[in-house]
Amino acid sequence: MQHILTLCIGNICRSPLAEALLAREFPQRKVWSAGIGALVGQPADPHSVALAKAHDLDISAHRAQQVTLAMCQQAELILVMEDHHRVELERRYPLVRGKVFRLGNGDIADPYRQERDAFESAWADIELGAAAWADRIQRLG
């Protein structure tokens, strides 16, 4: 599994954090993120940047990008934040069926336009989900 895509809606809050965590775990693999309704070209939300920095991750250069068919074809694993992201992605690109999974055990709430505590809650869920997926991926080789 050499190509891992993380996905949320705007690609400025949750998926950049998941991308950074998994990229740190797998520096030799391609890990990237996108959004179903990306705020294309926008930087990561300042709360996400601050949380990442507090955990020795730098997402300050991140710019949001829209998910594309090519990304979905290249990805061997697509990790979404909410189940409806999976449903929408499979509707748009039926070829992704079987390689789209939620990052967490349940949906990871979108902290967009909320206070820092909502971002901290999302971070905790993203961190747990990324750690669990990192373990699974390592076992697969």
88: phi then psi, degrees, rounded to nearest 5: -65, -40
Domains and CATH numbers, the chain: 3-140 (3.40.50.2300)
What tens digit of pLDDT does each residue of 25-66 get?
A: 999 999 999 999 999 999 999 999 999 999 999 999 999 999
77: phi then psi, degrees, rounded to nearest 5: -145, 130
> Which residues are annotated as catalytic?
8, 14, 110
pTM, entire model: 0.97
Nearest Cα residue to 123 out of 62, 37, 26, 54: 54
What tens digit of pLDDT does each residue of 57-82 get?
A: 999 999 999 999 999 999 999 999 99
